[in-house]
Amino acid sequence: MFLRVVLKENFLSQAISIRNMNKGQVTIKDIAKELGISPSTVSKALNGHPDISKDTKQAVRDLVKKWNYVPDPIALSLKGGPSRIIGVIVPEIVHYFFSTVISGIEDWANDAGYHVMFCQSSEQYLKEVKAVDTLLSSRVDGILVSVSKSTNDFSHLRKIVEKGIPLVFFDRICEEIDADRVIVDDETGGYVAAKHLIEIGCKHIFHLSGLQRLLIGQGRKNGYMRALREHNFQVNENDIIDCDNMEEAAVIVPELFKRPVKPDGIFAVNDLTAVAAMRVIMELGYRVPEDVAIVGFTSGLMSDVTNPTLTSVEQHGYMVGREAARLLIERLENPRELPKKTVIIKTELVKKGSTDRKK
């Protein structure tokens, strides 16, 4: 009897289908009407509810396929269900590191059936606050954040947690908030970088350091200092200079070479600074790596393109992104309250021309 209904209605299906297609999506109602059953039955059939007959389920599934029905995520999230969107806030998309992180996030999230919504803070606290509001009002299921350089007040991030929305920090974390974290092993990176400079014979190793307010700045510097100490070098505070971008490097680096004790090795907090330093140094007439060896941090495209190529600490941004997404989705799909995790992504020294001293 059920089948008869279907057959009878079938004459109309084409017309109905077309009408609804134009209007937008096919709805659960259309399916129900076509099959002569109620919307809730359709809903249950679709969700594999146990007490719907096999025949009905099959009929629903067939029509769903035929009409290309897709449940409306908006309606779902209005109901309070998950939106299956995860929000991401990064400081700057143009940075190679962050763009690789984003790729990692996207790939993992898409594979798990989530969509991703990106916002950038442009390193501005206010934009970061706004981004949080944007994401919350879009009902994202969870949020991934790498905090901006100018963020000192964390109440907007705390608000996320208070709303019960899973939060994962990556790279630039906030220590004050208990959340999952994915960090790069900056300390070891800094250590290995400085150690390498020591091993190739540098005696006066300077560090162009990042913002000490950020953990990544601290970590890289601490690693540098540890390497020096462990190799019986004296750590000289004057050899650590705040300088984390090309513009500053252009001004600051020449000053270093006016000192009585000039650097013969430089570890810079990022590739851009390293590259700018290298440029300046060569313009001053020193040879790289013979007179001055240089190590950067991030190992983006940049490091292959300079002459000499730049030895740098690879951060594995893609992995950072994947792990961050994985952590978040794990929590989304497994809501019991487990202790927060911190994943540390290993860094890796990639040796290239700027430290390649033929012995």
**Least CB distance to a copy of itself at residue 173 (A):** 22
Q: Taking CB within 5 to 8 Å according to partner kind, which of a copy of itself, DNA, none is near residue 60?
A: none
- The whole-angstrom separation of Cα 109 and Cα 104 is 8
Q: Of 12 and 94, which CB lies nearer to a copy of itself in the complex structure?
A: 94
Distance CA 27, CA 190 (A): 57
- 80 is a contact residue toward DNA (CB under 7 A): yes
Quote the tokens at residue 331. Answer: 């929590």
Q: Tokens standing for 28?
A: 């659960």
Task: Compute and round to an integer the Cα radius of gyration of the chain.
Answer: 28
Q: Rounded to an integer, what distance in angstroms lies between the CA atom of residue 130 and that of residue 122?
A: 12
Q: List Cβ<8 Å contacts ≥24 apart for 153-159.
A: 153/125, 156/128, 156/129, 156/132, 157/132, 159/132
Asked whether position 257 contacts a copy of itself by CB under 8 A, the answer is no
Q: Is-contact 230 239, C-beta < 8 A?
A: no
Residues that bind a copy of itself (rule: CB under 8 A) add up to a total of 49
Instruction: Indicate whether 134 belongs to the interface with DNA (CB under 7 A).
Output: no
**Residue of the chain from 27, 103, 150, 218 that contacts a copy of itself (CB under 8 A):** 103
Contact between 305 and a copy of itself (CB under 8 A)? Answer: yes
Which does residue 212 bind out of a copy of itself, DNA, none, counting CB within 5 to 8 angstroms by kind? Answer: none
The DSSP call for residue 355 is G
Exactly one of 13, 17, 27, 134 binds DNA (CB under 7 A); that residue is 27
Tell me whether strands 265-268 and 293-298 are parallel, antiparallel or unpaired: parallel
Q: What is the DSSP letter of 298?
A: E
Residue choice 38, 40, 53, 110 for contact with a copy of itself (CB under 8 A): 110
Of these, 14, 22, 47, 334, which contacts DNA (CB under 7 A)?
47
Name which of 138 and 236 has its Cβ closer to a copy of itself: 138
Considering Cα of 56, then 59, then 65, then 70, what sign does the dihedral take? negative
Residue of 16, 76, 250, 282 interacting with DNA (CB under 7 A): 76
Binders of a copy of itself in range 137-196 (CB under 8 A): 137-139, 162-163
Strand partners, 180: 168
Q: Which one of a copy of itself, DNA, none is in contact with 264 (Cβ closer than 5 to 8 A by kind)? A: none
- In angstroms, give the least distance from the CB of 30 to a copy of itself: 16
Q: 311 - beta bridge partners?
A: 295
In angstroms, what is the minimal distance from the CB of 306 to a copy of itself? 5
Q: Does 25 bind DNA (CB under 7 A)?
A: yes
CA angle 237, 191, 262 (to 5 degrees): 40
325 touches 141 (CB < 8 A) = no
Asked if 359 is part of the footprint of DNA (rule: CB under 7 A), the reply reads: no
Nearer to a copy of itself, 9 or 254 (CB): 254
SS3 category, 206: strand
Does residue 99 interact with a copy of itself by CB under 8 A?
yes
* Options 12, 21, 55, 212; binder of DNA; rule CB under 7 A: 55
> Which residues are near DNA by CB under 7 A?
2, 24-25, 27-29, 36-41, 43-44, 46-47, 49-53, 55-56, 69, 71-72, 75-76, 78-81
